[in-house]
């Protein structure tokens, strides 16, 4: 009977060794956490990023858009006004044209440019007449609207397509202090 006891003792020893090894490994390994979803907050229409710039950099950006369109005009931010410069053919001569506009930010983050002064050559002219002419003669981007009756240009920068669900909105446009700030916003569709 001794060999039977030795055999069962050896089997019991092996089983206990495997159980101890299993428990040792179980204790030493960390628990695998359950897969959890990372909460994504709803930021529909909220600011994702805020950007600031200077007159010089914005003018560079504006000129690059104008150069791509091959339109014969200039639009830039001056020391006191946003200025639109072009020329008008009159009796075979090109006559200079300058419009000076004051900016105002809309509730949607767009920009209203109110005409303060329009000059054709040496003459001051009614803004509504000239804006009607500009609207008929110039190709503006789809997000720039000429409102001749209100003597202003409306720039709906939020309609400028960056990506499918992203939009830009102005939050500050201060010419005299050279401070310009706009926000990048996400729109859930």
Tokens of 125: 């002219």
pLDDT score at 35: 67
180 touches 174 (CB < 8 A): yes
| Strand ranges for 40-92 from DSSP E | 47-53, 74-77, 82-90
- The predicted-structure confidence for 8-33, as pLDDT tens digits, reads as follows 777 777 877 777 777 777 777 666 66
Give me the phi and psi of 140, to 5 degrees please: -100, 160
78 touches 63 (CB < 8 A): no
183 touches 115 (CB < 8 A): no
Higher-pLDDT residue of 156 and 125 is: 156
pLDDT score at 102: 93
Helices (H), the chain: 2-28, 55-69, 127-137
pTM assigned to the model: 0.67
List, in sequence order, every residue forming a beta bridge with 181; answer none if it has no partner.
52, 172
Q: Angle at CA 56, nearest 5°, toward 133 and 73? A: 20
pLDDT score at 103: 92
Residue 131 has pLDDT above 90, yes or no: no
Give me the phi and psi of 77, to 5 degrees please: -95, 120
- The predicted-structure confidence for 92-124, as pLDDT tens digits, reads as follows 888 888 889 999 998 888 899 999 988 888 888
81 touches 102 (CB < 8 A): yes
Higher-pLDDT residue of 45 and 67 is: 67
Question: Rounded distance, CA 61 to CA 143, Å?
Answer: 16
148 touches 132 (CB < 8 A): yes
């Amino acid at each position: 009977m001794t060999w039977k006891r030795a055999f069962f003792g050896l089997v019991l020893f092996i089983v206990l060794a495997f159980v101890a090894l299993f428990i040792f490994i179980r204790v030493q390994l960390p628990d695998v956490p359950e897969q959890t979803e990372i909460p994504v907050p709803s930021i529909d229409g909220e600011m994702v990023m805020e950007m600031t710039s200077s007159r010089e950099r914005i003018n560079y950006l504006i000129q690059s858009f104008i150069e791509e369109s091959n339109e014969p005009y200039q639009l830039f931010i001056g020391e006191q006004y946003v200025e639109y410069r072009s020329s008008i053919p009159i009796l075979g001569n090109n006559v200079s044209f300058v419009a000076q506009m004051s900016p105002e930010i809309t509730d949607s983050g767009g920009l209203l440019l109110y005409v303060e002064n329009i000059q054709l050559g040496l003459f001051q002219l009614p803004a509504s007449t000239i804006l009607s002419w500009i609207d008929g003669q110039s190709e503006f981007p789809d997000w720039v609207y000429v409102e001749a009756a209100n003597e202003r240009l409306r720039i709906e920068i939020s309609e400028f397509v960056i990506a499918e669900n992203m939009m830009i909105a102005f939050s500050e446009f201060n010419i005299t202090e050279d401070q310009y700030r706009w926000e990048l916003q996400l729109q859930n569709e």
